[in-house]
Structure 1
Amino acid sequence: MIVTETLKKAVKLFGQKEGLVCGRDRLTYKEAYERVGGLAQFLASQGIGKGDKVAVLCPNCHRFFEVYYALAFLGAPTVPLNWRLTPKEIAFILEDSESTFLIADRRFGELVEAALAQGPKAIKGVLWAGRGEAPGLQVGAFDYEEVVEALRGVPPEVPYEEDHIAQIYYTSGTTGRPKGVILTHKNICVHALGTVAELHLSDSDRWIHVAPMFHLADAWATWAITWVGGTHIFVGTFDPGLVLETIERERATITNMIPTML
């Protein structure tokens, strides 16, 4: 099984259900699927295809969800970036992973500009999401919402096997330069299925993404909750008051946090 099957199942069984909640943005699974299609079509037009690595520097939001799935439809591995890293560390990961494209929120514009100034050679374009001003760069720059809305529809599908690379997570453990940990589509789907069984997840669950989506502390729920047709609730900034308010307002039923967040 490959990651895209989880979203296709959700659309088939729960297409008109509210699947994603991000601030004022509320999307059904069908709407999210079409936005994923628009993003995938745009990335394909930029030459992104099977095996091409794309880095992501975004806060928790519905766009991160869309990026994970759009790249999966193209067979392009996702390289999630920790926005707490320094420009030098970001530049190293971009270079080491051989990422050819970057999707970033505008709030991290200065970090992106400083990282690209350090010379990762393969980046040929940046897709800017979120609000605010984006810095002028020496590579192509595009607006996320513009391209997604212009091209939204059924995602293109690139054939590949379940042992194909889905994501590359960079981790140092505790010290030293980070190393890229490869996860295949089979890795992700088996883990998601295991959590569905162990936690008895169902379409009545409402998962609130509080831990960062660039980390597997939370990212696994992207596929597990989608698989069962649950609802995703995104919190872009970890603020205890905001999290508690959102849990109450959106009736969140489940989440995962690391000890320092509790």
Structure 2
Amino acid sequence: MSHVFESGLDAGPANFAPLTPVSFLVRAASGLGHRVAVIDGDRRITYAALYARCRRFASAMARRGIGHLDTVAILASNTPEMIEAHFSVPMLGAVLNPLNTRLDPATIAFSLSHGGAKVLIVDGEHAGLAAASLALVDRRPLVVGVSASGSFDATPDVLDYEALLAEGDSEDAWAGPADEWQSLCLLYTSGTTGDPKGAVYSHRGAYLQALGNALTFGLSQDSVYLWTLPMFHCSGWSYPWAVVAAGGTQVCLRKADPAVIFGLIAEHRVTHLCGAPVLLSMMAQAPASQRLPFSHTVRCAIGGAAPPSTVLRSVEAMGFAVAQLYGATETYGPGTVCLQQAEWAGLSEEERYARMARQGIALPTVAELAVVDPGDLTPVPRDGRTVGEIAMRGNTVMKGYLKNPDATARTLREGWYLSGDLAVWHPDGAIEIRDRAKDIIISGGENISSLEVEEVLTRHPSVLFAAVVAKPDPTWGESPCAFLELKPDAPPVTADEIVAFCRNHLARFKIPKAVVFGPLPKTATGKIQKFVLRSRVRV
């Protein structure tokens, strides 16, 4: 016999709907249609127009046979079309695959093939990269070109984006997901050895992550969000949806140039922006002639290695309020935040900056955050000294890796997402990263696998052993430093020659910025002692 709180109290269309971030745009278009949703140079797009454009795209794609769980990839900078794709593709019930514009053609070609892209939207700025990537795939998707910086070189096998929209009807019905667990986005990680892994997001996860970001970052209808973070990173940490959920305005920016950023802040009264630590370094180092003053506070969320205190001091004086974040592609971007506490005002400047450098506590939409023993996954003491692995669980953890059950099982284990990052847990609940268990280097917000770079280095005919570690970098936070032990009978080789060799095999941001020659420290069993090398680069 059913309980009285279950009998006759059933879920139906009136009281249950699958969660989807598309609903944010429906609401904004209905109640805030006249407000400006997107600014791109002289272009202004209202919420009503944004919704109509997304509906026309979804209609046109459906008429061309694109629909449920088909993959639509996009290779674009921070443009209005990238924002539109985050709503129009989910309307179809299709899966959006934002591609990293900084990667090499072979890696992009792998993503297109592995993800089974049926459509590729290409921003004209990246037409050359797209062409080189498409030359490596066996099955060419439908290519849709977006004009940028003047014109897009239209060809018979490239459909113009605006022409595609003209094929659609903004009055055509769209269904959205039948199930909120339905796949929404496919994001390939850049921090792995071998082929990238494709993290799969759900409609439910994206909806909740967007609300978690909006709440944590204080977004509202008065918010003006500047796109200094690439939208291809974890779908812009879900901010394409979060800003719309709040009814704010998004300001597009193709390249993070300090002079342009200061100008846009002053012109549009920007209230929020996100990025890697390199962004703050760029702002701090900008010449006085570029620093247009602004009278309001700009909230700035930073993910990655904590900025040095000198940078924090400089940007705070300009009017930026900085919050440190931590997360991963697998967690839809930010999973933790370090918000400044009122009681910190009584601390010394040195201690306050040390607190700000922590990765903080869980976002309100994360079910649980812990630092666990990597062996038995039991929580470590909250003593600020015991090192363990950062673990999370909840609705804002990925569904898993596409077509990679082994990697999924290793990462989603015993009810936890295991990050591979090592941290301590402070008594106040804040976590603080101590090391990266997988030797991932975070340079300018990009993940670099040391093992991937080492594999390329050992292909050089003169290299016997290679080890790559993160070296502190005043601009990028960290950069790869290569330690090389050469073959005894090999001809001499210079650092410049090694860099030139890497340039032919690696994306630019993965190339070592420092090369050191000499015997590598090893254990009795021959394992390279990376901790010794790390100590050398931090001297």
Q: 1:182 to 1:173 in 2, by over 3 A?
A: same
Higher helix share: 1
Q: String of CA shifts for 1:73-117, please: whole Å, max 9, x gaps.
A: 001000000111111111000011111110001221111111111
- 1:244 corresponds in structure 2 to 262
Match of 1:158 among 175, 179, 182: 175
Pairing of 1:56-67 with structure 2 (within 5 A): 56-67=74-85
Cα offset, 1:168, TM superposition: 0.6
Cα offset, 1:124, TM superposition: 3.2
Q: Is the 8 A contact 2:95 2:186 kept in 1?
A: yes
Q: String of CA shifts for 1:160-185, please: whole Å, max 9, x gaps.
A: 21100010100032544210001101
CA distance in 1, matches of 2:50, 2:235: 23
Q: TM-score, normalised by structure 1?
A: 0.93
CA distance in 1, matches of 2:94, 2:227: 24
Q: Is the 8 A contact 2:98 2:235 kept in 1?
A: no
CA distance in 2, matches of 1:185, 1:67: 14
Match of 2:36 among 18, 23, 26: 18
Q: Is the 8 A contact 1:40 1:156 kept in 2?
A: no
What letter corresponds to residue 165 of structure 2 in structure 1?
V
CA distance in 1, matches of 2:251, 2:58: 23
What SS does structure 2 have at the residue aligned with 1:100?
strand
- 2:146 corresponds in structure 1 to 129
What letter corresponds to residue 168 of structure 1 in structure 2?
L
- 1:101 corresponds in structure 2 to 119
CA distance in 1, matches of 2:251, 2:209: 21
- 2:275 corresponds in structure 1 to 257
Q: Is the 8 A contact 2:117 2:141 kept in 1?
A: no
Structure 2 residue runs of 5 or longer lacking an equivalent are 1-18, 281-539
Match of 2:189 among 171, 175, 181: 171
Match of 1:37 among 46, 55, 69: 55
CA distance in 1, matches of 2:70, 2:211: 27
Q: TM-score, normalised by structure 2?
A: 0.46
- Identical counterparts, % of pairs: 30
Deviates more, 1:112-121 or 1:2-11: 112-121
Q: String of CA shifts for 1:132-155, please: whole Å, max 9, x gaps.
A: 243647xx4211122224535246
- 1:145 corresponds in structure 2 to 162
- 1:75 corresponds in structure 2 to 93
What letter corresponds to residue 82 of structure 2 in structure 1?
F
What SS does structure 2 have at the residue aligned with 1:256?
strand
| 2:203 is the alignment partner of 1:185 | yes
| 2:212 is the alignment partner of 1:194 | yes
Greater RCO between the two (CA within 8 Å, min separation 6)? 1
The structure with the larger Rg is 2
CA distance in 2, matches of 1:175, 1:22: 37
Match of 2:129 among 88, 94, 111: 111
Q: Is the 8 A contact 1:53 1:98 kept in 2?
A: yes
Q: 1:77 to 1:68 in 2, by over 3 A?
A: same
Cα offset, 1:260, TM superposition: 1.3
Deviates more, 1:128-137 or 1:33-42: 128-137
What SS does structure 1 have at the residue aligned with 2:245?
helix
Q: 1:120 to 1:56 in 2, by over 3 A?
A: farther
Match of 1:234 among 252, 256, 264: 252
CA distance in 1, matches of 2:181, 2:219: 25
- 1:84 corresponds in structure 2 to 102
Number of residue pairs the alignment of both structures matches: 259
Higher strand share: 2
Aligned-residue Cα RMSD (Å) equals: 1.7
CA distance in 2, matches of 1:245, 1:68: 27
Deviates more, 1:213-222 or 1:102-111: 213-222
Q: 1:210 to 1:156 in 2, by over 3 A?
A: farther
Q: Is the 8 A contact 2:146 2:152 kept in 1?
A: no
Q: Is the 8 A contact 1:55 1:102 kept in 2?
A: yes
Q: Is the 8 A contact 1:37 1:154 kept in 2?
A: yes
Q: 1:29 to 1:240 in 2, by over 3 A?
A: same
